[in-house]
């Protein structure tokens, strides 16, 4: 492949909902050196709430005889990049708190009341630290629901377990952004657009502020006692992270980004809101601002109805269907709709060039729920799969069934391996989940 000595400008734009969006990247639109490098391997979690209508989810056939059931039918174009699991058991199965609380942490337990908030470090945060020296944002946390203010939301446990998948430490859940304007500002600041001149101006402002802060920190530290010194060191670490991001921004300042105007806020229509969030996720990945994204299409106990697909009932109450076939069938419609919306996101990734392939070829996505049969909050046989080319690290087009009920934490261990960042333990893991060969019966 021949590489241009000068990148082409990106000026062709499409008018969309509340934003202006450019056409996908072409190789000629990338700086020559970046186009020639090997694309990075990214990771994303895509979470769906309130369990699954398992009768409509579980595939037929094993191994390469994978046959998609009706819920996964919208994903048929991506079957060759799907690795579907059956038989995996939740690490922590406590109603809805354990579902989202253990999805990325693999924690075997949580708190015992609304003020005891305990889980474990989530793999997105581990991977974020791994990539931190190469991207401006270590991780990006996005959701579609406004968070609860405080108190208990599930059983007698904190709302924190429902509002996020991401934990920076065993006692520090991370907030997820639901407002696309906030997500844009996290990626590009309050610049109004992705325009290079606006980005450069913002960068210079941040450098000036940082120079002032560092000067004051140096003199202030000399006047503090031992306890305050500890607090100040934590603050200094945060300042250093800002310095690192500024340095990364300077290195990437010549990259011409897609034209994208700052959103005004969250559109009132769910599908419009979701489309905007998906565009922002693709933009963050293709501009290499981050390589790790966690996303919740809805949080556990979500009451969102879906009248647009013929399901006016609230999602969470419907998920407690008492095994009534008619209600399970309605539940499956919601599950199928989520899969359809996910397939639209996969289409965006597939249509976005990345090196000699696409973004979809160079990403591993963990898709699924933290509950199987929602009627009894079952943690057995979790509906989960890996989607994407995984930079050649995983082989799709297969259905793997495990008879020994391995922990979902073991799957998280394997994901870390596939991301070239092996760890000794994730949550309550006791080994790695074998996914390269068919499990033994």
Coil/strand/helix, residue 305: strand
For residues 19 and 261, the answer to whether their CB atoms sit within 8 Å is: yes
17/235 Cα distance (integer angstroms)? 39
Q: Reduce the DSSP state of residue 117 to 3 states and report it.
A: coil
Q: C-alpha dihedral over 352, 355, 356, 362, to 10 degrees?
A: -70
Average pLDDT over the chain, rounded to an integer:
84
Report how far apart the first and last C-alpha atoms of the chain are (Å, whole number). 46
The CATH class given to the 23-186+264-418 domain equals alpha beta
Cβ-in-10-Å burial (0-12, 13-18, 19+) of 363 comes to buried
- Alpha-carbon span 165 to 141, nearest angstrom: 8
Strand pairing category for 82-86 and 384-387: antiparallel
Say whether 280 sits in a helix, a strand or coil: helix
Q: How far is CA 210 from the centre of its chain?
A: 30
- Residues 63-121 pLDDT 10s: 999 999 999 999 999 999 999 999 999 999 999 999 999 999 999 999 999 999 999 99
Look-up: residue for tokens 């969309």?
16
CA atoms of 99 and 110, how far apart (whole Å): 11
Partners of 85 in beta bridges: 384, 400
What is the spatial distance between Cα 371 and Cα 321, in angstroms, rounded to a whole number?
Answer: 14
Cα three-residue angle 166-136-147, rounded to 5 degrees: 30
* Cα 284 to Cα 205: distance, rounded to the nearest angstrom: 22
Please give the torsion angle defined by the CA atoms of residues 77, 80, 86 and 90, in that order, rounded to the nearest 10 degrees.
-80
Q: What is the pTM of this model?
A: 0.81
Beta-ladder partners of 367: 46, 385
d(CA 381, CA 84): 11
Residues in the chain predicted with pLDDT less than 50, given as ranges, are: 1-36, 208-209
What is the number of other CB atoms lying within 10 angstroms of the CB of residue 26?
A: 12
pLDDT for residue 356: 93
Asked if 403 contacts 89 with a C-beta cutoff of 8 angstroms, the reply is: no
Signed CA dihedral, 230, 234, 239, 244: sign only = positive
**pLDDT for res 30:** 46
Q: What is the DSSP letter of 72?
A: G
Backbone angles phi, psi at 108, to 5 degrees: -85, -5
For 232, the token pair is: 């100040």
Phi and psi at 399, nearest 5°, equal: -120, 115
Beta-strand pair 292-296/42-47? parallel
Rounded distance between C-alpha atoms, residue 194 and residue 280, angstroms: 11
Q: How many residues does the chain have?
A: 441
Distance CA 268, CA 248 (A): 35
CA 170 to chain centroid: 19
Q: Which two tokens stand for residue 427?
A: 């949550």
Give the Cα separation of 340 and 240 in Å (integer). 42
């Amino acid at each position: 492949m021949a590489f241009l000595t000068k990148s082409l400008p990106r000026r062709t734009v499409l008018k969309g909902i509340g934003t202006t969006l450019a056409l996908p990247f072409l190789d000629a639109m990338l700086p020559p050196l970046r186009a020639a490098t090997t694309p990075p391997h990214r990771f994303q979690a895509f979470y769906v709430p309130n369990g699954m209508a398992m009768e409509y989810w579980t595939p037929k056939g094993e191994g390469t005889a994978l046959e998609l059931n009706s819920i996964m039918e919208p994903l048929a174009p991506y079957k060759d990049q799907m690795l579907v699991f059956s038989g995996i058991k939740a690490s922590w199965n406590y109603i809805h708190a354990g579902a989202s609380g253990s999805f990325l942490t693999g924690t075997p337990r949580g708190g015992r009341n609304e003020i005891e908030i305990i889980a474990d470090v989530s793999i997105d945060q581990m991977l974020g630290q791994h990539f931190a020296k190469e991207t401006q944002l270590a991780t990006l946390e996005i959701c579609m629901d406004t968070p609860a203010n405080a108190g208990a939301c599930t059983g007698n446990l904190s709302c924190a377990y429902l509002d996020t998948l991401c934990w920076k430490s065993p006692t520090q859940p991370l907030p997820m952004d639901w407002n696309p304007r906030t997500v844009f500002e996290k990626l590009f600041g309050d610049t109004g657009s992705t325009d290079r001149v606006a980005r450069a101006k913002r960068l210079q402002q941040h450098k000036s502020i940082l120079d002032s802060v560092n000067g004051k920190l140096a003199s202030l530290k000399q006047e503090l006692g031992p306890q305050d010194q500890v607090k100040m060191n934590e603050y200094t670490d945060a300042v250093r992270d800002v310095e690192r991001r500024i340095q990364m921004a300077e290195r990437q300042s010549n990259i011409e980004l897609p034209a994208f105007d700052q959103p005004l806020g969250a559109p009132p229509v769910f599908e419009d809101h979701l489309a905007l969030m998906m565009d922002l996720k693709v933009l963050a990945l293709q501009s290499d601002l981050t390589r790790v994204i966690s996303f919740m299409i809805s949080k556990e106990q979500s009451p969102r109805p879906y009248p647009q697909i013929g399901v006016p009932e609230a999602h969470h109450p419907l998920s407690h269907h008492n095994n009534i076939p008619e209600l399970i069938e309605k539940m499956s419609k919601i599950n199928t709709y989520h899969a359809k919306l996910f397939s639209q996101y996969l289409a965006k990734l597939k249509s976005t060039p990345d090196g000699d392939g696409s973004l979809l070829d160079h990403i591993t996505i963990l898709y699924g729920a933290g509950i199987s049969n929602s009627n009894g909050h079952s943690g057995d046989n979790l509906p989960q799969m890996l989607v994407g080319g995984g930079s050649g690290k995983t082989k799709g087009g297969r259905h793997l069934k495990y008879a020994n009920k391995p922990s979902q934490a073991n799957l998280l261990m394997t994901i870390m391996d596939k991301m070239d960042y092996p760890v000794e333990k994730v949550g309550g893991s006791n080994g790695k989940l074998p996914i390269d060969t068919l499990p033994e019966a």
